[in-house]
Amino acid sequence: MVYLDASATNPLLPEVRDAMLEVMDLSVKGELGNPSSLHSTGSRGRDLLAAARESVAELIGASSEEILFTSGGSESNNTVLHTFTGCPLFVSAIEHPSVLEPAKLYGSPCWEIPVDRQGIINLSALETQLRRTLKHSPQERLLVSVMTANNETGSLQPLAALSALLQTLRADFPKAQLFFHTDATQAIGKIPVNVQKLGVDYLTFSSHKLGGPVGIGALYVRQGSPFKPLILGGAQEGKRRAGTSNAVLATGFATAAKIAKTTPAKYQKIAELRDYLASEIKKRIKTATLVCGDRKQLVLPNILNVSFPGAEGESTQLYLDLAGIEVSTGSACASGDIRPSHVLMAMFGDAEVAHNSVRFSLNLKTKKQDIDYLLKTLPPIIERLQKLSTINLKESV
């Protein structure tokens, strides 16, 4: 089996399993209490949680009291946007739905930042809109939420420039309260991510993308930033997120986080494989369009999104699956929705590009022979679907 869907989830790391089993064994022996309990076994849970929080904080250059454990990236994103209920929200058009949907619900109003055909946000459009808003109400509290890297295309966003823009605006509008959130779920572990360097106030990430367990994620909240809990009814996580703390998942997440500190350097090799895949696809399938073009330096090292005119993505995905290759698609048909990928629609405004898109996402286990097998398998599938299709390729993109 060739797994090229690493952006969906990554296999659990054996070190993570071992660490979690140790904690589970404590629980089996009755030596792991509720971390909120004062007694000795509760205290053991508390210690495990504190150690885990320390490791997770260290991965992004935060201090441990700035880290909140959540159920995952979606909850972290929802929590930040919920905090800014009734405020103007500026979110990129290509955010994960767990940013976009709450932003539309809580924002007053919610502005979508457009992106170009490489999937990069239009900073000057954002600046114009921010200045217009602040000129009108200079004491406004507002939030800008732009992901570090996109999950479908891997496009890296200009966070340094965005941070600089917000600094300028803070100087120009001293009474305004401008906050900055980034969803780094896809980027962490692939490229170095440091909250001090990025200048963000909130940062979302998740455990399972790093080879940790599913069901736990983190939210970084810079000290002093506004916060409103989403889940009420308990004093856990410094009264910021109710619900019994999970020492098993936190320990697994922390183990994955320690390993993730060393992985960005290793992804250089994966970027070479990805670039090889991109250039070979262009050679072997003339009609293929590389969704992010050739601007490799502006894309995560492990993602390649390609659109094959006339070959609908779900059909390609199913054919590949039968050949033992697992990928994903931006086609509406595969999403249970009637709309195709909002990310590719924001980039191209063309539903066909989205319907025909296939995302290949690699991880550290991907080998050259996997890519060669894909390169051998893919062209006849695309050719067959194109021949079966009503689309006249000469008229396609």
Partner 1 sequence: MKQSTAKSCQKSPLEQSWAYTDIVKDHFLNPRNFLMGDETKFPADGEGLVGNPYCGDQMLVKIQVSTRKNPETGKREEYIKDIGWKTYGCASAIASTSALSELAKGRSLSAAGDISAEEICAFLGGLPKHKFHCSVLGHEALKNAIADYQNHKNLKNQP
Torsion of CA 41, 23, 363, 75, to 10 degrees: -30
**Strand (E) or helix (H) holding 353:** helix 351-355
Q: In the chain, count of helices (H) and strands (E)? A: 14, 13
In whole angstroms, give the CA distance from residue 176 to residue 56. 31
In whole angstroms, give the CA distance from residue 141 to residue 338. 36
For partner 1, the closer of residues 262 and 390 by Cβ is: 390
Smallest distance, Å, CB 314 to partner 1?
4
Other Cβ atoms closer than 10 A to 273: 18
Smallest distance, Å, CB 77 to partner 1?
23
Binding mask 29-68 for partner 1 (x = CB under 8 A): ----------------------------------------
For partner 1, the closer of residues 47 and 321 by Cβ is: 321
Interface with partner 1, residue 189, by CB under 8 A = no
Other Cβ atoms closer than 10 A to 288: 21
In whole angstroms, give the CA distance from residue 123 to residue 118. 14
The HSE-up count of residue 316 (CA atoms within 13 Å, CB side) is: 29
Residues 321-380 that bind partner 1 (CB under 8 A): 322, 331-334, 336-338, 340, 351-352, 355
| 210 DSSP 8-state letter | G
**Residue for token pair 């009291």:** 65
Nearest to 278 by CA among 297, 313, 309, 303: 303
Smallest distance, Å, CB 396 to partner 1?
9
Other Cβ atoms closer than 10 A to 173: 19
Smallest distance, Å, CB 311 to partner 1?
8
Smallest distance, Å, CB 340 to partner 1?
7
Whole-angstrom CA distances from 266 to 205, 255, 271, 272 are 20, 18, 9, 11
Mention every residue, 6+ apart, whose C-beta is less than 8 A from residue 214: 9, 72, 207, 208
Q: How far apart are the first and last CA of the chain?
A: 32
For partner 1, the closer of residues 159 and 343 by Cβ is: 343
Residues 377-396 that bind partner 1 (CB under 8 A): 387-391
Residues 268-327 that bind partner 1 (CB under 8 A): 310, 312-315, 318, 322
Smallest distance, Å, CB 317 to partner 1?
9
Binding mask 98-127 for partner 1 (x = CB under 8 A): ------------------------------
For partner 1, the closer of residues 184 and 347 by Cβ is: 347
For partner 1, the closer of residues 34 and 377 by Cβ is: 377
Q: Which among 87, 110, 292, 333 is annotated as catalytic? A: 333
Active site residue 110: no
For partner 1, the closer of residues 252 and 330 by Cβ is: 330
Q: Which residues bind partner 1 (CB under 8 A)?
A: 310, 312-315, 318, 322, 331-334, 336-338, 340, 351-352, 355, 387-391
Active site residues: 333
